[in-house]
Every structure is written in C-alpha cells, then in structure tokens.
A and B are shown apart, each in its own frame.
Chain A
C-alpha cells in the first residue's frame, strides 16, 4: 500500500468514475477506505457463510439414506469449505488476516447469511438447502462475476462453476423426494414451508439500486429485488412442477410485468435472526467449534505455521 492518503475526495471521485467505466481493482492499486471497508465486510460475510453453510448440511453426512448420497453430500460440503478457503483469501488480500476472521466468527462476532442460522430436522431440509438455498446463493453469486474487485471476481468464476454441480446435486435430491413415497413427499413439502421465509429474507429488502452502497461502490452489480425475482423465476416453477406448494398464498407471476407478486416477509424477524441473540442452532454450532478450537490450540502453529502477528 502506498503512503498516499486513502481519504482523498478528488481521487475518490476519479476512482468511482473508473469503476463506472468497468475498471477492475487489483490489490496493489490505490483504493479509498470506503471501498476497502465495504469489500472486506461483504467478502468476509460471504466466506463466513460458506463455513456456516457447511455445518447444517454436515450434520446429514452421518445420516444420509444411501451410500451414494453420503459421499456426494460429503463432496458437496467439502466444496463449500473449499469456497470459504478461496474467499477468505480474497478478504486477506485486502488486509484482513484469515485467523482474525476465523476467530471472530467462532467468537460469535462474525456476520453470515440468515439462512445458515436455522436448524435441520429431516432429509427434506437437505433437499431445500441443496436446491433452494444454494439456488439463492447461485443467483447472487453469479451477479458477483461482475464485481469490481478483480481477485474476488476471479475466485467467483471458479465458485460459480462448482455451484453448477451443486445445483444438480440439489435438484437430484429434490426430484427423488418429490417422486418418492408419500412420506418422502411430505418431508419435502414441510421443509419447503420451513425454508420459504428464510429464502425470501436472504435477498434482503428491496432497497433501490441507487441507494445501495454495495452497488454504488461496485461490490454488487444487481439490486436485491432483481436477484429475488430471478430466483422466483427459476425455482418456483420447478417446485410447482414437482407438485410442491409454495406457502405464500399471494405468490403469483404477472406475465404483463414479468414480475412476481409476493407477501412481504417479516423484516423484523430477519433483523432478529442476523443481529439479535444467536438462534439455538447457531449458538450450539459455534459453541462446539469454539470448544474444538480451544482444545486444539496446541496444534494451530503446527497445522498453519506460526502466527505472523505473534512472530512479529
């Protein structure tokens, strides 16, 4: 990083103008503080979500109903951890050490997506996480291929490619349940009912693009509502085709506008989930990780090399 100030209104305007022209920012370039901070916040939350997203699915590797599902679920969760591995590195290139992010996460100080705060009850939840929740993530991640921070965009290329595999994995599980026994079908329908609101929450409030700082600063390229509409477009018809009911009675596609109408989700509940006291599921997943982390303190330097901060 150069000695030049990172708070320079003129340079900042020039920087924003370059972003508007489609310039991609490399880690060694000058960047305003706001740009760095917003990116770190967003990318760290993304990486945290990959880790916290691995945990609910991980619970089902031990319980998977066939050996094929057992190993493909293990491989799928492995990819999520792999994504965390790639994405933490991007945040690191902006100056935030991975160990600090990790320790904040398990201390309950790291933010992550709402959908990973919920418990799982049945294999139907595995189907919903694998297809619908992952589908929501695919929609938002694909929009990140245009993000302005070059290392992030490069990593997203690989992540999005792997997510295409996860899409198939999820749809395959979903279709098997939908065409299975009545118990399997009910298992799926109940899980869809549980996941509907969290997924609607996932995209965030319909804040207009011009008021979204993440869009202004070129982190995100698309508004929350555009992403939600794309998800509804893709996934609702697929559920209907399987005979699965979507639990919002108001949900309807308007061919005139090309837009979906839906019941506004309860935004206070979202705020409660992501900012309030941790849910029981999150508290126990984090507590257990803390316990493992503390118990293995003797191992950290061996497995990761000495902490550079401590060595300095």
Chain B
C-alpha cells in the first residue's frame, strides 16, 4: 500500500493546491478514491494525485529570507504622492506645467 498526495483546484482560476494524502494500491485507484476522500463536499473543480515517493520537499528554512528584498515587492516603492508633486513643481519651474483637457483619473490597479 502506497500513499498518494492529493491536489485540488477549488475554482477554475485558482491554483492547484495540496489538500492531503490517501492510501491506495496504485494511481488509478487513488484517483477513484480521492473523489470521496477529499472532494465529497464539492471542494473543487479539478483534482490530481501523485505518488508520495515522487513528492520532493526542501528544507523550508531556505525560503526564510534574512536580508531585505523589498526592492522585489510593491512595498519597496512608496511616497508616490510626494514624488508626483515634486515632478509637477519641477515642470512648473521649467515653464512646462500642462493644463490640457484630460480624463478624470480612475484608480489604476498598479497605482499607489
């Protein structure tokens, strides 16, 4: 009897996530059994199994970062209100302030 890792997708646009393991003699059986071991309450739209022996894990401390990597994250960029204002003032100082007609700003997903 081998164990199988079970993965499921809750919604069509969600990632496959690990939901548990089950015992089964082979992959074919694991696929049949997983439906009721892990998805009997309508937990997902798609699932998969993988023999536990093919499921490799890494020492999780390798993911714990000790050094600041905020330059890779949105949080690494801030103060946009002030920076935009500084640029506007610099434009005015250069005599390049611009008052042309423009749309009312909408909130943009990436905007600070």
Interface residues of chain A, those whose CB is within 8 Å of chain B, are: 24, 26, 68, 71-72, 75, 138, 142, 150, 153-154, 157, 160, 163-169, 171-172, 175-176, 178-180, 182, 185, 233-234, 236-237, 240-245, 252-255, 258
Contact = CB atoms under 8 A, between A and B. Distances in A.
5 contacts: A75-B72, A237-B102, A241-B98, A242-B87, A243-B97
Contact of B83 (A138, A179, A243): A179
Nearest to B90: A179
B90 A153 contact: no
A72 B110 CA distance: 17
A26 B109 CA distance: 28
Given A138-B110, A172-B77, A179-B86, 18 more contacts: A138-B109, A142-B109, A150-B12, A157-B13, A160-B109, A164-B74, A164-B110, A165-B77, A166-B110, A167-B108, A167-B111, A172-B80, A175-B83, A234-B108, A241-B84, A241-B91, A243-B88, A258-B103
Nearest to B72: A75
Range of interface residues on B (Cβ < 8 Å)? 35 or more
Contacts of B25: none
A118 B92 CA distance: 32
Given A75-B72, A178-B91, A252-B101, A154 B83 contact: no
- Main DSSP-derived SS at the A contact region: helix
A63 B15 CA distance: 38
A176 B86 CA distance: 9
Nearest to A174: B87
B13 A154 contact: yes
A245 B46 CA distance: 51
B71 A171 contact: no
Contact of B88 (A142, A233, A241): A241
Given A71-B71, A168-B74, A168-B112, A242 B88 contact: yes
Given A178-B90, A234-B108, A258-B103, A172 B98 contact: no
Ranked nearest first, the 3 interchain pairs of A and B with the lowest CB-CB distance are A243-B91, A167-B110, A243-B96
A255 B100 CA distance: 11
A72 B84 contact: no
A71 B76 CA distance: 12
Given A167-B110, A241-B87, A72 B103 contact: no
A305 to B, nearest CB: 15
Contacts of B101: 252-255
A233 B101 CA distance: 11
A195 B110 CA distance: 21
Nearest to B97: A243
A275 to B, nearest CB: 32
B73 interface: yes
A193 to B, nearest CB: 14
B106 interface: yes
Interface in B29-72: 46, 71-72
